[in-house]
Amino acid sequence: MAKATIKDVAEKAGVSVKTVSRVLNDEPRVKPSTKEKVEKAVAELKFKRNPLACGLRSNQSFVVTLIYSNPNPGYIYELQNGILSQCSKLGYHLQLQPCDYKDPNLLEIIEDLIEHTPQDGLLLTHPVCDNQAVRELLVKKGMPFARISTFREDKNSPGVYCNDKLAAIEMTNHLISLGHTKIAFIKGHPDFGATEKRYLGFLEAMKSWDIEVNPTFVKEGAFTFASGEEAARKLLIQKDKPTAIFSSNDYMAAGVLKVAAQLGINVPTDLSVVGYDDTPVSQQIWPSITTLRQPIFELAQTAVNQLVKKIKKQDISEQDIEFKCELITRASAGPIKINK
Amino acid sequence: MAKATIKDVAEKAGVSVKTVSRVLNDEPRVKPSTKEKVEKAVAELKFKRNPLACGLRSNQSFVVTLIYSNPNPGYIYELQNGILSQCSKLGYHLQLQPCDYKDPNLLEIIEDLIEHTPQDGLLLTHPVCDNQAVRELLVKKGMPFARISTFREDKNSPGVYCNDKLAAIEMTNHLISLGHTKIAFIKGHPDFGATEKRYLGFLEAMKSWDIEVNPTFVKEGAFTFASGEEAARKLLIQKDKPTAIFSSNDYMAAGVLKVAAQLGINVPTDLSVVGYDDTPVSQQIWPSITTLRQPIFELAQTAVNQLVKKIKKQDISEQDIEFKCELITRASAGPIKINK
DNA sequence: TTGAAAGCGCTAACAA
DNA sequence: TTGTTAGCGCTTTCAA
């Protein structure tokens, strides 16, 4: 069974090829009765357009490329699922382009990509989307793109992001509501915009309750298990220990749990530990980690919508769309012990 | 700057388009000097072929589709990386098709996919590749495919897999070499071929050392954290406890660690726990989990090679290519306590 | 509201 | 060894 072509449909419907094309593209000025005839023929022949031919002629490809440089497989997995779900609704395909955001050739790689692979638009995840040179290149080349989990605003491109600061405030308030005041904070990797936003949220919440932040309670981290471990070791051998540790992500929180276990500190009775991101590990560890979940799937879907609007040169009502994180309480954080 | 076409190259090199096409396709019977001229023109114009046009004309798309139904993001992530790396070498693109292996419409979804999306071949991961109806459909439709991590042989398609049985033997031997004889085993989900292979390896190793397997030491699991927890609870409240637990994957091993911690059983001094798959969690937990690592990246690369050979109708010397797992010793397993 | 013809960039078939 | 011509399946332009 050779695949049906537009010609077969035209013949079957008794109209010209062009008319079929008009129906397929939802162009106006087609008589309803004609449209019906064509649609019937399409259905009977199980006709689907050859995307290659469409792309060739109209200089479109219905492909969008996801550029990512993120060591968190769970995040990428969920992101892809969200993108795929929306792409398939809108008739687009997804191309993957992993990269290293620190690669000195990043700009050339991206330039090569947009010059030589057919695609209609790009989805950039952080931290690549926060790279100004990359954004400028894309604007110069006229390649539509949308930013995901971004931390820099940009008038030339739409973006979606989670309000990290707000979420960090909520988490800090949660710890305070459990009675904690001696709260330590482990920062993330300085290359990531989230690092600062999360820290600022922590500071703001502490300030709003007039709780002083002990400078020895703030440690640098790097979003890795080992960096969480190291920070925790410093925090927990101090004479004046915190009663709660807010880690900027779950990997580091897992590192904190390790150190606590080694030092014989019981979590959550002697120490509350919270993380960020709702990474799979936060449920696969004991105690399971109280954390903040980004709606990654929805973020991704919305980014695709924004990108497709941009591709089709439609109005983008909101340039940067904000999402909220969800506080997920698990076993690693609890009320402070009174008789301490 | 409009993109250069094959016409521009032909003009610049002073030859016909067909000659350029010959050079691009590495066809024989081109005079070396002509070839050089063309290659120079290609380089100067930074010409790259328009894949859409190639695909349309030659009825190829240089797209391969990965069909997966696997809840382990780390596995998929690594698999994609391996596939992408090899695809880019061979000039192919990757399309993603997540699915649910239990979906009653799976067959129709795949039929629709191969009928209506241009692609040259399919990569099937387990358990989808072990579905005979799916394989028969693809053979019937003449769509080339390769199987990844497969457990059924198939004369009509190439495949790559890890020798799970061998790996399980190695792990069991490892535990035995640490002095353990009271070894429990938690099986995986019965829908996955790995489940049986891993169990058989365990049994074989035990038998080879003439160690009897206590039937109460074998529990059903489902590859989930909760199922590991449940199995461990049953195992560890018995009067006659095992001194080591071999979990069929890391998620379940993490569940075992939780129960051990709750029951005050120290790992690894009082109990050794080992897993399988080298999932990220195995390093993000304390004690870190001794496990088996599949060379997923290499598996994926090889599968792409096999598939492309199949697409190009080249000889496939080896139909099913075997890989070995690597035993990774971490903190969760140690020598048995003598003075028990 | 509809159609005829041209052509997107490339390769296959055939000819020279 | 190289070139000419046609055409993949569709959309665009222009005309009716």
Is the domain of B170 the same as that of B290? yes
Q: How confident is the model at residue A132 (pLDDT cuts 50, 70, 90)?
A: very high
Residue B35's CATH number: 1.10.260.40
Q: Which helix (H) or strand (E) holds B162?
A: strand B159-162
- Residue A1 confidence (pLDDT): 46
Is the domain of B305 the same as that of B204? no
Question: Does A141 lie at the interface with B, CB-CB under 8 angstroms?
Answer: no
Say whether pLDDT at A206 is over 90: yes
Distance between CA atoms of B69 and A80, rounded to whole angstroms?
14
- Contact of A192 with A218, CB cutoff 8 Å: no
- Contact of A324 with B321, CB cutoff 8 Å: no
Is the domain of A18 the same as that of A135? no
Q: Do the domain assignments include residue A1? A: no
Give the residue whose CA sits closest to C9 at C1'.
Answer: B53
Instruction: Work out if B18's Cβ lies within 7 angstroms of strand C.
Output: yes
Chain B interface test: which of A61, A257, A284, A285 (most B C-beta within 10 Å)? A284
Name the domain count of chain B. 3
**Which residues, listed in sequence order, are joined to residue A218 by a DSSP beta bridge?**
A185
For residue A62, give the chain B residue with the closest CA. Answer: B52
Say whether pLDDT at B285 is over 50: yes
- Nucleotides in chain D with any atom closer than 7 Å to protein CB: 1-5, 7-13
B137 CA to C12 C1' distance (Å): 30
Q: Do the domain assignments include residue B333? A: no
Q: Do the domain assignments include residue B334? A: no
Distance between CA atoms of A231 and A255, rounded to whole angstroms?
9
Question: Chain B: nearest CA to A135, how far in angstroms?
Answer: 19
Question: pLDDT tens, A55-77?
Answer: 888 888 889 999 999 878 999 99
Section A86-110 average pLDDT: 93
Provide the whole-model pTM.
0.92
Q: Tokens 């009928």 map to which residue?
A: B115
Residues 6+ away with beta carbon under 8 Å from B87: B64, B93, B94, B304
Residue A267's CATH number: 3.40.50.2300
- Residue B340 confidence (pLDDT): 45
Residues in chain A: 340
- Residue B1 confidence (pLDDT): 46
Give B-chain residues touching A76 at CB under 8 angstroms: 73, 77
Is the domain of B20 the same as that of B131? no
Does the distance separating the beta carbons of A51 and B118 come in below 8 Å? yes
Is the domain of B44 the same as that of B68? no
Is the domain of B283 the same as that of B299? no
Question: What burial letters (b/e) apply to A117-132, b meaning 16+ CB within 10 Å?
Answer: bbbbbbbbbbbbbbbe
Question: pLDDT tens, A246-276?
Answer: 999 999 999 999 999 999 999 999 999 999 9
What is Dmax (Cα atoms) for chain A?
88
Give the residue whose CA sits closest to D13 at C1'.
Answer: A18
Q: How confident is the model at residue B115 (pLDDT cuts 50, 70, 90)?
A: confident
- Nucleotides in chain C with any atom closer than 7 Å to protein CB: 1-5, 7-13
Section B298-303 average pLDDT: 98
A57 CA to C7 C1' distance (Å): 8
**Beta-carbon neighbour count of residue A18 at 10 Å?**
11
Distance between CA atoms of B72 and A251, rounded to whole angstroms?
17
Is the domain of A149 the same as that of A170? no
Domain that holds residue B244: 164-294
Q: Which residue has the higher pLDDT, B55 or A215?
A: A215
Is the domain of B189 the same as that of B280? yes
Q: Do the domain assignments include residue A334? A: no
Is the domain of A299 the same as that of A186? no
pLDDT above 90 covers what percent of chain B? 70
Q: Do the domain assignments include residue B170? A: yes
